[in-house]
Amino acid sequence: MTEIEESDRFECKVVNIINNLKWKGVMVKEIKSGGNVYFARTDPKRDLKAGDTLYLGVRELPSQMEEMQAEVTLYDKNDEKIDWTFI
């Protein structure tokens, strides 16, 4: 099994945008695995739309946190952090 480094990026596509009162929710699909990740607090000023290509970064969490295995960060093409979540 290949170990994932924090600097690794995984291509994903925006599949849905949810306009909330203060933030935009963004659902992305990772290209290779087909897995979905939801980011609830993205800046509404960003011009994101379905079909846009973004990138995921993954950081494994300590094993003591049983209910959460990793921190997943959403990045744009310039490696600028957009949002993050736990999975």
Phi-psi category of 33—alpha, beta or left, where left has phi over 0 and alpha has psi -120 to 50?
Answer: alpha
Span 53-79, average pLDDT:
86
Give the confidence band of 3 by pLDDT, cuts at 50, 70, 90.
Answer: low
Please report whether residue 68 resides in a domain: yes
**pLDDT, tens only, 10-57:** 999 999 999 988 999 999 999 999 999 999 999 999 999 999 999 999
Greater confidence (1 vs 5) lies with 5
Give me the pLDDT at residue 7, please: 76
- The number of distinct structural domains making up the chain is 1
Asked if the model's pLDDT at residue 81 lies above 50, the reply is yes
Please report whether residue 43 resides in a domain: yes
Please report whether residue 3 resides in a domain: no
Give me the pLDDT at residue 1, please: 43
Please report whether residue 82 resides in a domain: yes
Please report whether residue 1 resides in a domain: no
Phi-psi category of 34—alpha, beta or left, where left has phi over 0 and alpha has psi -120 to 50?
Answer: left
Containing structural domain, residue 64: 10-86
Please report whether residue 2 resides in a domain: no
Give the confidence band of 2 by pLDDT, cuts at 50, 70, 90.
Answer: low
